[in-house]
Amino acid sequence: MVPLDLTHSALLTTEIQDRILTDRPTQFRQMWVDLGRFVAHRYANVFGITEGPPLHDVCAVHIASLIGQGLASSTTDEGRWRGKRMHCQVEIGDGRTRGQTICDIWNYVEGDGKIILATGIEVYLARPSELIADK
């Protein structure tokens, strides 16, 4: 599981947008940057995130694919993520917290959990060819 508060730290900054477009411009890359710019306005107004839009879907799919391949989390070098196996449940009661995911980060429940929760991600300015595969 990759929570929003984590992926809101991975932003499509103008520096990354410029790198995407200057490496090898294509219509696909332009569309990707235009989409990022479109949602950037909403994130700035609603959440106060002005450095660029978060890359939630990109991070969630990438980390899920690493977990699916059996690649463990790491605390080393660029572009790595950290995760922890824990117990999680979804709040099903009435009220404002209905649907909220509750994760046992303090290990109150004994035994190994079944969910890997991403707890950290290191974002770096990758080569554009690593950011977007448009072949």
Residues designated as active site? 56
Task: Say if residues 129 and 94 touch (Cβ distance below 8 Å).
Answer: no
- CB count within 10 Å of CB 92 equals 9
Closest to 19 in 3D by CA, of 113, 134, 130: 130
